[in-house]
Structure 1
Amino acid sequence: MIFCLYRALTILGGPLICLHLKRRMARGKEDPKRFGERLGRPGLPRPDGRLVWLHGASVGETLSLLPLVERLAARPGWRVLVTSGTVTSAQMMAERLPKGALHQYIPVDRPAWVEAFLDHWRPDLVLWAESDFWPNMLDAIRRRRLPLVLVQGRVSAKSFAGWQQAKGFIGRMLSAFDLCLGQTPEDARRLAALGARRTQCLGNLKMASQPLPADDAELERLHSLVAERPLWLAASTHAGEEALAARVHQHMVQRFPDLLTIIVPRHPHRGADIAAELMAMGVTASLRSSGGEIPPGTSVYVADTMGELGLFYRLCPVVFVGKSLLAKGGQNPFEPARLGAAVVFGPYMDNFPAMAPAMVAAGAAQQVADEADLIRAVSALLADRTALARARTAARAWAEGEAGVLDQIMGAVTPLLEQAEKADAHP
């Protein structure tokens, strides 16, 4: 019943959907040069041969798929299509996709646009990331009997409770999947309880990702600018956490007079507002977008640029992972650990329910309770070089030990690849 109502609304609501998309475009949230892709109009021709299509909602999901994309792109006879729904993810894929792999925007979930997309691309296998479930698209994939695998499947406790009230609706969507791979055993259990036919947990694909890239020359230049200054990084921060980082700085600068705090906000467009907020607090802040320099006297450096987290994870020995003290859910702690940073995060790491406690247990991260606890943890690391080196070594060792998940996930996907290959050989 819910699906039928949803489908009718997406058919009849075409004009309103177009109006909504145009308003998003006016705010910079849609790509005007490729707007047709959101309406199911292809921006590229379909390549010859077999095609595997991978979908991730935004930056985090598509980045987690990159190890799979690279493996699949190297498989003879296969081409790779990656879709996402945000401008920032499209920009990131333009820089990171391997040669031969293609990116398109996912069409908005309206039946005519979905069918046009599938008619053009005709995928032989579909891999879907996390929980970006679109009813019309998944129903069309099911009706076409396309092999479909959920990778990185994630169902939070809140989402699980909500879906329990609409089990028929979520069950219909999950029935499209031949296999659902949960990020954690609990995710796999919840997917099965909601109606998934086959579920497994083979690990978190984010642990298979390559280290975030960095410009070596720029890293060397920044090292020369900060010289011997003690420094720490507040990474992927959300609203409120920048002011918190500034208060931490104001407290610690009494012990470390030359301290430099670097902030990389989760949404770079907030850079100017963040700098204004910090200046109002009496903190001397400078913006990376203003030229990349760190002027003398800078207390807090706001790196409001895209795609440079890898640079600052390498530069800073101590990293606080944002969205974990004031905002809730947490950002990915694996990425700084992979690059050998001492990792600190707050109590709200719900997006990483297995990874966060595993890192703490292995000594690869510290979990702090509040602002005062963050001050204590960062100060202790900066004051004790031996403890800092031990924390950095433990983080890197744990991350490298977890990176074998890609082989297991490829093992689960390979039978479907071989099935498509056999179908081609014996039509």
Structure 2
Amino acid sequence: MSSRFARLALSSYKLAGLAAYPLLGPYLSYRAAKGKEDRARRLERFGFPSLERPAGPLVWFHAASVGETSAVIPLIREMRRRDIWVVLTTGTTTSAHLAATRLGEDVLHQYVPLDLKPAIDRFLDYWQPDVAIIAESEIWPVTIMGLGERHIPQILVNARMSDRSFASWSKRPSIAEALFENLALVIAQSEADAERFRDLGALPVMTSGNLKVDTDVPPHDPAVLAEYRRQLGNRRTWAAISTFKGEEMAAAQVHNALKERTGLLSIVVPRHPERCDALEAQLKEKGLKVARRTRGDALTPDVDVFLGDTIGEMGLYLRLTEVAFVGRSLFAEGGQNPLEPALLGCAVLSGGHVQNFRDTYQRLARNGSARMVRDTEMLAKAVHYLLSNDNARQTMIKAGLETVEEMRGALTATIKGLEPYINPLTVKARLQPRLAVRG
């Protein structure tokens, strides 16, 4: 009975998508007007290709956003080293920009097709992937069923299962099992994540650790960094990165509380740069002078806030400080990845709402490289303490670098798990002539 119910529910989901299909054109146009879709490439969201499929084995990678894209870049490079073609789909313009910047012509980038049968069928008919590799927690029923029907191995890598997602799927165990049984392999970030996938019907499941530990150090332009450091001189700095609504104003309160004592420059890098015009206006209303990266504003002594409104320059912003608050944790929930600031030599601060990165924060906090704050007042005190106490700050930084080093190895473990699926493609790719890609 439960199996029949699951099939009925998934069929209903498909039918609902078909009914909504005619309405999605205007919806995507609206998103494009807001800067959330690439207007020139909207047809890719309906599965229409904009690049020619090359001859030879091809792996489909899907990474929803910037963090997931960064995590799978080393895996994509491994595929290309083996002469296997890669089509990478992402869901945001920021992740598309990152892919273009970091991978260039090594990858065929498309926006991910909508989870609707016509779009998925069109995409799979054209690209005919040999394997699908999906990053982290992207579970799209029509996509999973479409790949399953075609017997295309689909693998979750760097997989995680949040508290909320696990609770939701646990209420629908027959549907979860009907979907997750299509997965050829789940490579989970932690044993806790692995156990949750097993409970929901996924087999086999293995644990690798977090791929984000093994990603490249975020890049930067040395000349730009040197110029900003010259402008800053001996000024104290701290950064609030990957911030969500409310956290930028918390950073402003921290700045106002500390600037008289420290001559502070606050670096604020919102998770969504399109919010920066409104944020600048709000910061000015609080009497703060704002410099913006996109304008090339100088960091003069009277600048209060350096607003990081660019994509793909986190490596620059974090190299300008040694104290970083990681957002989506004070007011919003879920948290953001703290590994980048730890890797780049920052003492890490965070709010308590970090469910999506619980294991990582526990490791960092246990080793003394991350501290949690309850509210804006506690954040201000923590920033002041770390900026005033060189020994405490350097101890946290050292502990962070050591913790990141201890956590390495996920890339090697993931590649080992993938070998049964990619080794035959490697042999096939190297035995047959390959055609160049044409745009």
TM-score tier after normalising by the smaller chain length: over 0.9
8 Å contact kept, 1:207–1:402: yes
Residues 1:347 and 2:352 are matched in the alignment: yes
Deviation of residue 397 (structure 1)? 2.2
| Structure 2: stretches of 5+ with no match in the other structure | 1-7, 433-439
| Cα separation, 2, equivalents of 1:424 and 1:402 | 33
1:79-94 equivalence runs, <5 A: 79-94=85-100
* Equivalent in the alignment of 1:373: 378
* Equivalent in the alignment of 1:13: 20
Deviation of residue 425 (structure 1)? 9.8
* Equivalent in the alignment of 2:436: none
* Equivalent in the alignment of 1:164: 170
1:162-241 equivalence runs, <5 A: 162-241=168-247
1:6-32 per-position Cα deviation (integer Å, ceiling 9, x unaligned): 111222332112232222223222212
Residues 1:57 and 2:64 are matched in the alignment: yes
* Equivalent in the alignment of 2:327: 322
Q: Which secondary structure does the structure 2 equivalent of 1:52 belong to?
A: strand
1:251 to 246, 253, 257: 257
Tell me the percent identity: 37
Aligned length: 425
| Cα separation, 2, equivalents of 1:14 and 1:387 | 56
1:94-152 per-position Cα deviation (integer Å, ceiling 9, x unaligned): 11116422111111122122111111111111111122222111111111111111112
* Equivalent in the alignment of 2:29: 22
| Cα separation, 1, equivalents of 2:148 and 2:431 | 23
Q: Residue type matched to 1:29 in 2?
A: K
| Cα separation, 1, equivalents of 2:229 and 2:421 | 48
| Cα separation, 2, equivalents of 1:394 and 1:352 | 18
Q: Which secondary structure does the structure 2 equivalent of 1:262 belong to?
A: strand
| Cα separation, 2, equivalents of 1:425 and 1:244 | 55
Q: Residue type matched to 1:129 in 2?
A: A
8 Å contact kept, 2:208–2:409: no
| Cα separation, 2, equivalents of 1:112 and 1:240 | 40
* Equivalent in the alignment of 1:309: 314
Q: Residue type matched to 1:301 in 2?
A: F
| Cα separation, 1, equivalents of 2:74 and 2:325 | 25
Deviation of residue 422 (structure 1)? 6.4
Q: Which secondary structure does the structure 2 equivalent of 1:232 belong to?
A: strand
1:286-329 per-position Cα deviation (integer Å, ceiling 9, x unaligned): 33333332244111221212211110111111111111112121
* Equivalent in the alignment of 1:288: 293
| Structure 1: stretches of 5+ with no match in the other structure | none
Cα RMSD (Å): 1.9
| Cα separation, 2, equivalents of 1:18 and 1:98 | 29
| Cα separation, 2, equivalents of 1:293 and 1:426 | 55
1:218-253 per-position Cα deviation (integer Å, ceiling 9, x unaligned): 000000011100111111111111111111111112
User: What is the TM-score with the length of structure 1 in the denominator?
Assistant: 0.95
Q: Residue type matched to 2:146 in 1?
A: A
8 Å contact kept, 1:73–1:98: no
8 Å contact kept, 2:220–2:315: yes
Q: Which secondary structure does the structure 1 equivalent of 2:371 belong to?
A: strand
Distance change >3 Å, CA 367–CA 111, structure 1 → 2 = same
Q: Which has the higher contact order (CA 8 A, sep 6+)?
A: 2
8 Å contact kept, 2:365–2:371: yes
8 Å contact kept, 2:57–2:428: no
Q: Residue type matched to 2:360 in 1?
A: M
8 Å contact kept, 1:325–1:370: yes
1:274 to 267, 271, 279: 279
* Equivalent in the alignment of 2:39: 32
Q: Residue type matched to 1:13 in 2?
A: A
1:152 to 152, 155, 158: 158
1:158-194 per-position Cα deviation (integer Å, ceiling 9, x unaligned): 1111112222222222121111122221211111111
Q: Which secondary structure does the structure 2 equivalent of 1:245 belong to?
A: helix
Residues 1:47 and 2:73 are matched in the alignment: no
| Cα separation, 1, equivalents of 2:428 and 2:311 | 42
